[in-house]
Amino acid sequence: MVIESRTIVGAAAAFALVGAAVWGSSLLFQAPEREVTGTVEVTQVPERAWAVEIKELGATDSPTDATRTAANR
């Protein structure tokens, strides 16, 4: 599929026109006045993470020291 440059320019122009219309319509509305301001408290929660590596062994493969995990030692 070939995309011509005029297609890209046309899509960019349409996007810019819609953005300008939204920006222009925002001037018609008045922002609500805030009487009460809220507060936000952010705390870090300690999270434990685990990393697991899984390696598939076939039926005829025997586990070597390189393929053994801590679970089967």
Note the pLDDT tens digit of each residue in 29-49: 887 777 777 777 887 777 777
Could you tell me what percent of the chain has a pLDDT over 90? 25
69-to-3, 11, 56, 61 alpha-carbon distances in Å: 52, 55, 12, 15
Q: In the 8-state DSSP scheme, what is residue 70?
A: G
- Note the pTM of the prediction, 2 decimals: 0.39
